[in-house]
Amino acid sequence: MSPSILVVEDEAALLTLLRYNLEKQGFTVDEATDGQEALLRIAENKPDLVLLDWMLPSLSGIEVCRQIRRRPATRDLPVIMVTARTEDADAVRALDTGADDYIAKPFAVDALLARIRALLRRAATVPDKGTLAFGDLSMDQDAHRVTRAGRALHLGPTEYRLLEHFLAHPRRVFSREQLLDAVWGRDIHVELRTVDVHIRRLRKAINGEGEADLIRTVRSAGYALDVD
Ligand code: CA
């Protein structure tokens, strides 16, 4: 399977050039032209690597990168930041927010391809994230598969990230605000009741008939992965 790359770039000419060159090298290319769209594309269809322009409309590349790192499901997603600046301070800032590498515009396509290949090689040697489990619920993070009592469950991406967060901290109670920060990212404006909607969906997805409800609602506190 050819690695997929999400190119986030608001300059149409550069986007076309990058897509052409990456596809020529056998990569599958997806694109987004602003920061919000980038986060949506990543949530819908996680790429193998993100090529992220710094200067973007709606949400800067730096902010997109922070949010990618904050979410459990994309914490390890390889990111190369494309900066229009050459100052070292900017490069440091890009790396500080969690980018794995950066390249300054204007760049030679060959140099970029070399960095992409190097980063994909590094990502491929990262040890497996493994399996999270609670009771008869199990999440294989590498295969992105969730089962309960051996039965495959089908979760949407948000429900998946919610469950991943709960599984990483079983029995701990999280407020809606904490769940928003952990799963959606601190800077996205989402109403608190959105959390309730996704908790409802998560319950529906993981609790089969006659099975114990694994999500505990703690009045005026929040939610926990727990059984009574
Ligand atoms: Ca730009």
Per-residue model confidence as pLDDT tens digits over 101-141: 888 888 999 989 988 988 887 777 555 568 899 999 999 98
Q: Enumerate residues 6+ apart whose C-beta is below 8 A from 222.
A: 173, 174, 175, 176, 178, 179
Give strand pairing partners of 148: 137, 151
Classify 131-225 by CATH class.
mainly alpha
Q: Where are the domains of the chain?
A: 4-123, 131-225
Classify 4-123 by CATH class.
alpha beta
CA neighbours within 13 Å on the CB side: how many for 67? Answer: 25
Q: What are phi and psi of 10, to 5 degrees?
A: -95, -10
Check if the beta carbon of residue 3 is closer than 8 Å to that of residue 46: no
With 0.85 as the threshold, say if the pTM is over it. no
Distance from the CA of 207 to the center of ligand 1, in angstroms? 45
Q: Enumerate residues 6+ apart whose C-beta is below 8 A from 142.
A: 128, 129, 130
Distance from the CA of 55 to the center of ligand 1, in angstroms? 4
Distance from the CA of 8 to the center of ligand 1, in angstroms? 9
Q: What confidence score (pLDDT) does residue 186 get?
A: 66
Q: Do domains 4-123 and 131-225 have the same CATH topology?
A: no
Distance from the CA of 56 to the center of ligand 1, in angstroms? 5
DSSP state of 183: I
Q: Which of 47, 28, 36 is nearest to 10 (CA)?
A: 36
The larger pLDDT score, comparing residue 165 to residue 118, is at: 165
DSSP state of 174: B
User: Alpha-carbon distance 21 to 27, whole Å?
Assistant: 9
How would you label 56-68 residue by residue, b for 16+ Cβ within 10 Å and e otherwise? beebbbbbbbbbb
Distance from the CA of 211 to the center of ligand 1, in angstroms? 50
Indicate the pLDDT class of residue 15, thresholds 50, 70 and 90.
very high
User: Alpha-carbon distance 184 to 197, whole Å?
Assistant: 14
Distance from the CA of 117 to the center of ligand 1, in angstroms? 23
Mean pLDDT of the chain: 88
Structure tokens at 205: 């997805």
Question: Where does residue 93 rank: exposed (0-12), middle (13-18), buried (19+ CB within 10 A)?
Answer: middle
Indicate the pLDDT class of residue 99, thresholds 50, 70 and 90.
confident
Check if the beta carbon of residue 48 is closer than 8 Å to that of residue 22: no
Distance from the CA of 34 to the center of ligand 1, in angstroms? 9
Q: What confidence score (pLDDT) does residue 67 get?
A: 93
Q: What confidence score (pLDDT) does residue 63 get?
A: 93
The larger pLDDT score, comparing residue 40 to residue 95, is at: 40
Give strand pairing partners of 101: 80
